[in-house]
A = this chain, B = another copy of it.
Amino acid sequence: MGNCADCMRRVFCPPKNTNVRISLPAVCFVWQIAMIVLFGVFIRYDAESDIRLWLQLKHTNNITSDIDNDFYFRYPSFQDVHVMIFVGFGFLMTFLKRYSFGGVGFNFLIGAFGLQWALLMQGWFHALDPDTGKISIGIEGLINADFCVAASLIAYGALLGKVSPVQLMVVTLFGVTLFAVEEYIILDLLHCRDAGGSMVIHCFGGYYGLTISWILYRPKLNQSKRLQGSVYHSDVFAMIGTLFLWMFWPSFNSAITDHGSGQHRTAINTYIALASSVLTTVAISSASEKRGKLDMVHIQNATLAGGVAMGTAAEFMITPYGALIVGFCTGIISTFGYLFVSPFLEKYLKIQDTCGVHNLHALPGMLGGFIGAIVAAAATEEVYSREGLIETFDFEGEFADRTVGTQGGFQAAGVCVAIAFAVVGGAAVGLILRLPIWGDPADDNCFDDEVYWEVPEDDEGILPVLEYNNHMTHKRQDISESNFSVEQS
């Protein structure tokens, strides 16, 4: 009967062509060569990484010691962020039983591409020398590039298992571009503060991915239902991602804040908020199941919501108990999201969100933006001191006259800009991705590494009973061959 149903499906819905042998290498080569050309034209070392400029800088500024190079005060945070991007996001996406290669592998691919493009895009907006027309990069640029990539990786979370690597490269190309523009508007034009990127990274990245997923809606996705869950050890792999994200989130939020008390405070606030999220996530997860059992999906994701929601406000004087309250609430909201909002989105709004990025990034990011607006608006000279207010909110130059109330308003406006860019940009990118040229998988072939990876045979029990093995191998080959013949037909 199963075979018969299979037959019918093949006749009426011929499988898509998932062969990316031309398109994937072509995209990788063309884009990488473009990077080389653009780097050649635009990118140079900054004054702290160029030997000639560094020696000049030392002479002119009376810097006596090489250890005053900013490298030593940013690099540890940079490496923590780097781990979050590649191990954190990568392993968090290994939870599917047969999409671990795609989860960690495509995350790696688009991360490596995205950070190059991000160095250029962010450089044009933030670090272009008007005289020479060159972009200067240093350690802060690398951190920013990682941040920029994070938004596209979040978007990948919504699309996990349903798109081809070529589509992901497109998502990243436009994702990084849109990011650089919205970041420029929010941070430079609106002069918002958003050290950990609640708005510019999480809110933008989340809604960007959700909008693309909405455009790419697959009504028959339940044909891949057999692959849509986890297995025991894939859940343990995903915990590697969760824990590295959770532990290093204080570094993420504080990586590019101002040196001094700002960076110190940001790390403390994030650490506290994350701790609080864990407890409320466990509470809601347990309370939602008949026998009080915990759900790994919640533990893997909602525990991180406190870090997302503190991305804007961690830099401010939110107070330690304020951070606890933020973690408390967002842990609850995020877990409820997994329980109720995701099914609702899928059923009524036709948004299929594989990793639940709505609950972990989009919503907590949006909340984080508004929390930041409120905390900014509530800032007082009594708490910050006059000098502290100026330093924290950077009320200098053309923004010297801004009050904290106005700042709060602009912060809130920043959230709206991020969402607008995400939805409009995501819709455009989604439409591009609907072109039938990208090699995306068929509805019954989603969440399956077999499509884009050479997957090893899985003979778990390596018993020296040769007949048995041979028998099984043949059987599996039959199956694989029949698969191939179908795909090629």
Contacts and interface: CB of A to CB of B under 8 A. Distances in A.
Interface string A441-477: 0000000000111111111111111110110000010
B43 A230 contact: no
Nearest to A258: B66
A109 B264 contact: no
Nearest to A292: B21
A79 interface: yes
A278 interface: yes
Interface in A258-307: 258-265, 267-268, 271-272, 274-280, 282-284, 286-287, 289-296, 299, 303
Q: Give the dominant DSSP class at A's interface.
A: helix
Interface in A229-245: 229-237, 239-240, 243-244
Contacts of A54: 260-261, 264
A346 interface: no
A50 interface: yes
A233 to B, nearest CB: 6
A460 B192 CA distance: 49
A479 B453 contact: no
Nearest to A323: B39
Interface residues of A, number: 163
Contact of A137 (B68, B268, B465): B268
Contact of A108 (B303, B325, B388): B303
Contacts of A233: 100, 233-234, 237
Contacts of A66: 258-261
A260 B464 CA distance: 58
A137 B37 CA distance: 45
Given A32-B279, A232-B458, A290-B21, A76 B73 contact: no
Interface string A303-337: 10000000000000101110011001000000000
B104 A243 contact: yes
A8 interface: no
A221 interface: no
Given A36-B321, A116-B272, A275-B112, A261 B464 contact: no
Contact of A317 (B5, B51, B232, B454): B51
A403 interface: no
A383 interface: yes
A44 interface: yes
Nearest to A69: B260
A131 to B, nearest CB: 18
A452 B240 contact: no
**Copies of this chain in its oligomeric complex:** 3
Contact of A51 (B23, B40, B261): B261
A25 interface: yes
A202 interface: no
Contacts of A262: 51
A481 interface: no
B268 A45 contact: yes
Contact of A25 (B283, B458, B479): B283
A189 B56 CA distance: 32
A90 to B, nearest CB: 6
A231 B460 CA distance: 7
A113 B279 contact: yes
Interface stretch (A246-254, A349-357, A369-377): A246-254
A106 B462 CA distance: 22
Nearest to A76: B76
B455 A232 contact: yes
A406 to B, nearest CB: 20
A50 B265 contact: yes
Contacts of A479: 463-465
A160 interface: no
A222 interface: no
A440 interface: no
Contacts of A104: 236, 239, 243
A283 B29 contact: yes
Contact of A265 (B5, B45, B462): B45
A69 B240 contact: no
B303 A138 contact: no
6 contacts: A28-B286, A51-B317, A53-B261, A87-B247, A229-B456, A293-B453
